[in-house]
Amino acid sequence: MTIAAAERPVVSARDIVKRYGGVTALNGVSLDVEEGEIFGIIGPNGAGKSTLFDILCGITVPTSGSIRIMGSEISGMPPHLIARSGVARTFQRTAVFAESTVLENLLFGRHASFHHGVLGRIVGSKSYVRDQQAFQDRVEEILALIGLDGERHRKAGVLAYGVQRRLAVGIALMSDPKIMFLDEPAAGMNGRETADFIALIRAIAPGRTILIVEHDMAVIRQLCGRALVVVDGKPVVVDAPHHVLSHPEVVTAYLGADDDE
Amino acid sequence: MAIQDFGTMMDRKRAGAMNGNKAARAAREAIYVACAAVAIAAFAFAFTDPFVVTLAGYTCAFALFALSINIILGGVGEVPLGQCLFFGVGAYGAAIGMGKLGLPFEVAVLIALVLSVVLAAIIGVITLRLTGAYFSIVSWGLTGVAMVAATNLEEITGGPLGLFGFPPIEIGPLQLSDPQTYFAVTATILLLAIVFLVALRRSPFGAAMDSVRQNPHLARSVGVDVARVRLKAFMLSAPFAALAGALAVPYTQIVTPEVFSVANTVDGLLMVLLGGAQLVVGPVIGAAMFTLIPQAMNLDPNVRILVFSSIIILIMMFAPGGLHQLGVALRDRLGRRTDDDRSR
Residues of A in contact with B74 (CB under 8 A): none
B292 — pLDDT class (breaks 50, 70, 90): confident
A190 — pLDDT class (breaks 50, 70, 90): confident
Beta bridge partners of B180: none
Per-residue pLDDT at B19: 58
DSSP annotation of A178 reads S
For B73-120, the pLDDT digits (tens) are: 999 999 999 999 999 999 999 999 998 899 999 999 999 999 999 999
Q: Is the pLDDT of residue B192 over 80?
A: yes
Residue B7: Cβ within 10 Å count: 23
Q: Is the pLDDT of residue A78 over 70?
A: yes
Burial group, residue B132, by CB count within 10 angstroms (0-12, 13-18, 19+): exposed
**Among candidate residues A211, A215, A166, the one with its CA nearest the CA of residue A192:** A166
Per-residue pLDDT at A256: 64
- SS3 assignment, position A147: coil
User: In the predicted model, what is the mean pLDDT of residues B156-174?
Assistant: 89
- Tell me how many residue pairs between chain A and chain B have CB atoms under 8 A apart: 102
The more confident residue out of B309 and A139 is A139
Q: Is the pLDDT of residue A17 over 80?
A: yes
Per-residue pLDDT at A113: 63
For A25-45, the pLDDT digits (tens) are: 899 899 999 999 999 998 888
pTM score, whole prediction: 0.85
| CB atoms A108 and B4 under 8 Å | no
The more confident residue out of B267 and A131 is B267
**Among candidate residues B112, B114, B109, B105, the one with its CA nearest the CA of residue B173:** B105
**Chain A CB within 8 Å of residue B279 CB:** no
The more confident residue out of B46 and B233 is B233
User: In the predicted model, what is the mean pLDDT of residues B327-331?
Assistant: 76
B14 — pLDDT class (breaks 50, 70, 90): very low
Q: Is the pLDDT of residue A103 over 80?
A: yes
The more confident residue out of A99 and B295 is A99
Min Cα–Cα distance to chain B from A218, Å: 27
Least trusted range by pLDDT, from A158-172, B15-29, B40-54: B15-29
Closest residue, chain A, to B12 (C-alpha): A136
> Dihedral sign, CA of B116, B118, B123, B128?
positive
**Chain B CB within 8 Å of residue A202 CB:** no
**Among candidate residues A62, A4, A76, the one with its CA nearest the CA of residue A28:** A62
**Complete edge-to-edge strand list for the sheet that includes strand A64-69:** A23-33, A11-20, A64-69, A72-73
User: In the predicted model, what is the mean pLDDT of residues B130-139?
Assistant: 84
Per-residue pLDDT at A223: 92
User: In the predicted model, what is the mean pLDDT of residues B261-275?
Assistant: 89
Closest residue, chain B, to A116 (C-alpha): B204
Q: How far is CA A93 from CA A79, A105, A110, A173, A223, in A?
A: 18, 16, 21, 18, 22
Q: What is the ipTM, given to two decimal places?
A: 0.84
- Phi and psi at residue A116, to the nearest 5°: -95, 135
Per-residue pLDDT at B33: 92
